[in-house]
Amino acid sequence: MNNPTVHTARHDSAVEVNKVLRNTYTLLAMALAFSAVMAGISSALNLPHPGIILLLVGFYGLLFGIHKTANSGMGIVFVFALTGFMGYSIGPILNMVIASGGSDIVMLAMAGTALIFFALSGYILTTKKDMSFLGGMMVAGFVVILVGFVANLFLNIPALGLALSALFILFSSGAILMQTSAIVNGGERNYILATTTLFVSIYNIFISLLNLLQAFGGDE
């Protein structure tokens, strides 16, 4: 005989999961649109790139703000501040790529990023597979990427830069799988944090694809 208490708990859990998914994807769509607008403005005004130091300070500063305010309305404000800032940083990169005749590369990178995101998200939403086992590999991958990034700041080796771009795509793909799985399986209940993770992953995949496509396209 079915236990009505268990049935109610499962129903409430499913409702909560659907709510988090709906809020996450709604906020993510809005954040991506805002980031695209900021990228367009930055590109049209030919604004300079903020530079790696300012980019990192702005990114981690705003990320810290999101985590501190994730349970309040200010968290949404910080999400748009972060996505707008990252969008602004894309503008100068797009200008550089397009100026070298790489408009097709930009479109291909956008299409590739969308394909990766929807394929990974669709896989988890369909199978509801628990991807928490990736946690250890993600930590190891982050350490490898961090060491490689710092090393390449001094060595400036093109091949290492391309390897890091490939690793960024793999790492960000893993982050999308883990974050979506956490929502679907009840491990993530904060849509602001979920949106931030997905946005950063999409951003990293897009920038990394741009780097790889430029290199293999012979533009570097």
Taking only the tens of pLDDT, the chain with its 220 residues reads 455 554 555 555 778 888 999 999 999 999 999 999 999 999 999 999 998 889 999 999 999 999 999 999 999 999 999 999 999 999 999 999 998 888 899 999 999 999 999 999 999 999 999 999 999 999 999 999 989 988 888 888 888 889 999 999 999 999 999 999 999 997 889 999 999 999 999 999 999 999 999 988 754 4
In this predicted structure, what is the pLDDT of residue 52? 86
Which residue, among 219, 208, 203, has the nearest Cα to 85 in the 3D structure?
203
- Residue 219, helix vs strand vs coil: coil
User: For every residue of 82-138, which 3-state class applies, written as one string?
Assistant: HHHHHHHHHHHHHHHHHHCCCHHHHHHHHHHHHHHHHHHHHHHHHHCCCCHHHHHHH
In this predicted structure, what is the pLDDT of residue 12? 54
In this predicted structure, what is the pLDDT of residue 220? 43
- Residue 72, helix vs strand vs coil: coil
- Environment class of 156 (CB within 10 Å of its CB; exposed 0-12, middle 13-18, buried 19+): exposed
- Residue 66, helix vs strand vs coil: helix
Task: Give the start-to-end residue ranges of the domains of the chain.
Answer: 4-216
In angstroms, the CA 165 to CA 153 distance is 14
| Ramachandran sector of residue 129 (left: φ over 0; alpha: ψ -120 to 50; beta: rest) | beta
The pTM is what?
0.90
The C-alpha angle 114, 201, 87, rounded to 5 degrees, equals 80
